[in-house]
Amino acid sequence: MNDKVTENKIGILGAGNIGQSLIIKLLEKGYPKDNIKLTYRGSIFTFEKIYDNNLVDMISDNARLVEESDIIILSVLPQAFKQIGDFGLKEDKLVISFMAGVTIDEIKKQTGSDNVVRVMPTGPDTILNSNAIAGVYPENHMLSKLLDLLDVDYYLLDNEEDMKYMTLIGCLPAVYCKYDYESSENKEAVDKLSENFPLFKKLSYKASLLVPTDNKDEFVKKVSTPGGVTQKILSSLDNGESLYDSLVIALDYIDKLNDMVFV
């Protein structure tokens, strides 16, 4: 691993919405094209986006990406991660997971690396627009450099448990596309959640500033990963649950995600 972040080979395993937004931003910031590899599962729609974004030369396969990268970014869905199986890493390569719900222990077990960090950002458009917010756990020098390069406003969390609140924060820009941030029901929900995670108040406000002024439906679509947490919150709201209850249902869902996928 080179101390200069851009000298490292970086592999984006799962170049969907989040993965491609990271690559586009890295390139914009001068990351050498030759130092980036990506993989996807073969969807024609994803290939079209890879093509449109001029990233075709980066396409690799998972085995090569894992072997040749100094930094491996996991931006697949948890279920897809499980299906990949053991990575068989024999050295402690830096593995950065963007996956919601999957614990560091699980990632260490499956990759074989002991050098695993988690990042939970707001959606892909916020990464592209240089206004993403993210939670990070645990502290990692190289990850900090990478997030600085990506213009991400990141917060080091006290423990991994707090990742679940950051996952909610990541969903809030989409929630606030549909639900008024200024409403008394939101204020009440934010106050209650801040009792367990004091940063919630400040970060929910920051999340409210990320609501786009137009193309809201497209924005919501990009952050609504199928089976993901944003979708869970929005469907609970559609079913008539209060905002607070919908967020608590989502927290419960995040808590169970790791066990649902890996046990």
Query: Which residues contribute to the site for ligand NAP (CB under 6 A)?
Result: 13-19, 39-43, 46, 62, 75-78, 80, 83-84, 98-100, 120-121, 123-124, 170, 223, 225, 228
Tokens of 175: 């929630």
CB of 8 to ligand NAP, least distance (A): 20
CA distance from start to end of the chain = 33
Residue 47's φ and ψ, nearest 5 degrees, are -60, -40
CB of 7 to ligand NAP, least distance (A): 25
* Residue of this chain nearest to ligand NAP (CB atom): 16
Tokens of 126: 């916020």
Sign of CA dihedral 177, 178, 183, 189: negative
* Residue among 16 and 193 whose Cβ is closer to ligand NAP: 16
CB of 28 to ligand NAP, least distance (A): 18
CB of 3 to ligand NAP, least distance (A): 27
Q: What residues does 155 pair with on adjacent strands?
A: 135
* Residue among 129 and 187 whose Cβ is closer to ligand NAP: 129
* Residue among 9 and 187 whose Cβ is closer to ligand NAP: 9
* Residue among 77 and 89 whose Cβ is closer to ligand NAP: 77
CB of 261 to ligand NAP, least distance (A): 10
Cα(20)–Cα(48) distance, integer angstroms: 12
Segments of 98-199 assigned E as strands:
116-121, 133-137, 153-156
Q: What is the CA radius of gyration of the chain?
A: 18
